Amino acid sequence: MAEKNRHGQYIDPGNQGFQLIVNSNYVDKTMLIDLLNARIGTTDRLICVSRPRRFGKSFAAQMLCAYYDCSCDSHALFDDKKIAGCDSYAVHLNQYNVIYLDITSFISTAQREGLSLRDVPGNIIKAIKDELSLIINDLPTGKTLEECLKMCVDQAGGKPFIFIIDEWDALIREAKDDPIAQKAYLDLLRSWFKNGNFTPQVVAAAYMTGILPIKKDGSQSVISDFDEYTMVKPREFAGYVGFTESEVKDICENKDVDFDQMKIWYDGYSFKNVGSVYNPNSVMKAARNGDFDSYWTETSAAEGLMEYISQDYNGLTKTIAELIAGIEVPVDPKGFANDLTTFRGKDDVLTLLIHLGYLAYDSEKKTAYIPNEEIRQEFQRSIREVHHDATLKRLQESDALFEATINGDEAAVAAQIERIHREETSPLHYNKEDSLRSVIKLAYYTYRDHYVQWEELPSGEGYVDVAYLPKYDSEYPILLIELKWNKDVQTAIDQIKAKHYPESFKGYGREIILVGITYDKESKKHICKIEKMPME
């Protein structure tokens, strides 16, 4: 069989895609290749990586195409990259046939042409076979795709394929209510990756990316042989979830961008042995534009935050309020079914938000939290649109509490803090200092509209329990809050003054409001004292 054409759209697509990426301020992530090289030809050669959208999955897929594709010479793209220093570099560079599929493109084509999602698997088969006929003369008709691919391997002297499938789960998500379409697609994957007469001879390795992990109900057992790396357990792939802190520092230095602001806006995901990980899409846009903003809304980064946080599960409203208030919440991700429809309770909703990138996960403490300012703004934006009575009531109460505090309405502030303290704190933790701070944060949880919140903020000769510092474009005053129990409320105000807390903020040109709150441990009665200090 003689070659007609070397480059295709799906088979051996060449290295042009990665060339464009390298030309665009590329952050070197090529050591990912060494992880894959170590698995080629082994029983661990099937890899499935799930990440949120806009976290660099497609960039990685283009990089792998350029490196493995035997139809091109990619030395110029990789010789100056980190991977070039590895023993595996020359062994596998441009040594394989590559099949590259972006499943979202097949879905878009089907929708544009008025076809059913059930037609997508057949269209994938046809697209690959059509390209095989262009690459190899006299391709026999009537053969299955698997037979044709096996024939290609035989004709190429045993050169197997590397499968790179981007957004592999897109059809599963889009056809969530169509089991026939799902089955047809999963049967196709089974014929490639769970076929004893095909897989060992034809598949040197497979790298699939998606948003959600593999379903746990057995319906996706076709890919149960894949090693899986997720936002909950990225393991050795953690450094490739996004940009590491050192990479972001280099970007900031090269672009003369404020690193501290970059950290506030886009940091927050943290993984064992890697540390801080940043949203790569947002970092690059902020560096290019010189503007820190929420770039999340410019992408289809998730399936709709508002839809999930407004679910009516027991305790979810309170948990969302805690998250927005900056409190880490416990979560058990083990029971999540790994789809967009099967929710048994708030833990499943929270786990989905972790996989979608809206929450970060601390694997040691088993807690979830809003990772950074960008995502906080998305929560703030969505929460005000949620048509959920309990949530709207919390928003209104928090807004009213800020107004009462600024207006010096001591009775209203005391009453609201007392109610939150009573309703949201278990008796065992009622008098603990951490619980008291959590009560304050829950009560004032809409603060991000106008403030930056600080706990135990070093000021004067001590630490302010909770401080709300107005954003630069806000007209609001500074709030300094001190908490006590079984003491006269004036002692809280006196401590603020005695330790000179306000002096650290006099240069802000803002009015400073001192808030002292105390309560009786027996009666649980709360008392508030508010004093205002003029601008200086």
Give a three-class secondary structure readout of 258-282: CHHHHHHHHCCEEECCCEEEECHHH
φ, ψ of residue 460 in degrees (nearest 5): 55, -120
pLDDT of residue 266: 94
The confidence score (pLDDT) of residue 395 equals: 79
- Hunting for tokens 């009775």 — which residue is that? 411
| Among 383, 404, 432, residue at a domain's last position | 383
Whether 70 is covered by a domain: the verdict is: yes
Supply the range of the domain harboring residue 184.
Answer: 16-229
In this structure, the answer to whether residues 59 and 88 fall within a common structural domain is yes
For residues 465 and 437, is the Cβ–Cβ distance under 8 A?
A: yes
Same domain, 425 and 443: yes
Answer yes or no: is 7 within a domain. Answer: no
DSSP 511: -
Which secondary-structure segment (H or E) carries 415?
Answer: helix 410-424
Q: How many domains does the chain have?
A: 4
Residues 199 and 82 occupy one common structural domain: yes
| CA distance linking residue 442 with residue 454, whole number of Å | 14
H helix runs in 156-234, sequence order: 170-174, 179-193, 199-202
- Tell whether the model's pLDDT for residue 433 goes beyond 70: no
Residue 422's pLDDT is 87
Q: Quick one: 442 exposed, middle or buried, by C-beta within 10 A (0-12, 13-18, 19+)?
A: buried
CB distance 490 to 530 below 8 Å? no
Q: Do 402 and 362 lie in a common domain?
A: no
Domain match, 420 and 318 both: no
pLDDT digits (tens, 9 = 90+) for 1-19: 334 446 689 999 999 999 9
Q: Within this chain, do residues 515 and 480 fall inside the same structural domain, yes or no?
A: yes
Q: pLDDT above 70 covers what percent of the chain? A: 92
Residues 186 and 204 in one domain: yes
Beta bridge partners of 517: 483, 528
Report CA dihedral (305, 310, 316, 320) to the nearest 10 degrees.
Answer: 50
Q: Tell me, what DSSP letter sits at residue 43?
A: T
Task: Say whether pLDDT at 282 is over 60.
Answer: yes
* 321 shares a domain with 258: no
Amino acid 139: pLDDT = 76
- Rg of the chain's alpha carbons, rounded to an integer? 28
pTM: 0.81
Cβ pair 209, 50 in contact under 8 A: yes
Residue 248 lies in a domain: no
Q: Do residue 371 and residue 405 come from a single domain? A: no
pLDDT in tens, 363-409: 999 999 999 989 988 887 787 776 667 777 777 888 899 999 999 99
Mean pLDDT over 299-303 rounds to 45
**Averaged over 170-183, what is the pLDDT?**
90
Asked if the structure places residue 89 within a domain, the reply is yes
Question: By percentage, how much of the chain surpasses pLDDT 90?
Answer: 54
Distance between CA atoms of 336 and 53, rounded to whole angstroms? 19
Q: Which of 383, 415, 433 is the last residue of a domain?
A: 383
Q: Which two tokens stand for residue 247?
A: 């990479």
Please indicate, yes or no, if residue 108 is contained in any of the structural domains.
yes
Q: 394 and 379 share a domain?
A: no
- 203 and 58 both lie in a single domain: yes
396 and 444 both lie in a single domain: yes
Residue with tokens 């927005």: 324
Is position 367 within any domain? yes
Residue 37 has pLDDT above 90, yes or no: yes
**Residue at which a domain ends, from 347, 362, 383:** 383
Q: Contacts by 57-60 with C-beta closer than 8 Å and gap 24+? A: 57/166, 57/167, 57/209, 58/102, 58/166, 58/209, 59/21, 59/29, 60/29, 60/32, 60/209, 60/240
Whether 245 is covered by a domain: the verdict is no
Asked whether residue 460 carries a pLDDT value surpassing 60, the answer given is: no
Q: How many of the other CB atoms lie within 10 Å of CB of 135?
A: 20
Torsional sign, CA 274, 276, 280, 286 = negative
**pLDDT at residue 457 tops 80:** no
10 falls within a domain? no
43-52, 277-286, 306-315, 317-326: which range is least confident on average? 306-315
User: Are 269 and 241 a contacting pair, CB within 8 Å?
Assistant: yes
Q: Please choose, from the candidates 386, 407, 394, the residue with its C-alpha nearest in 3D space to the C-alpha of residue 446.
A: 394
Q: Look at residue 269 and tell me whether its pLDDT is greater than 50.
A: yes
- Return the SS3 of 46: strand
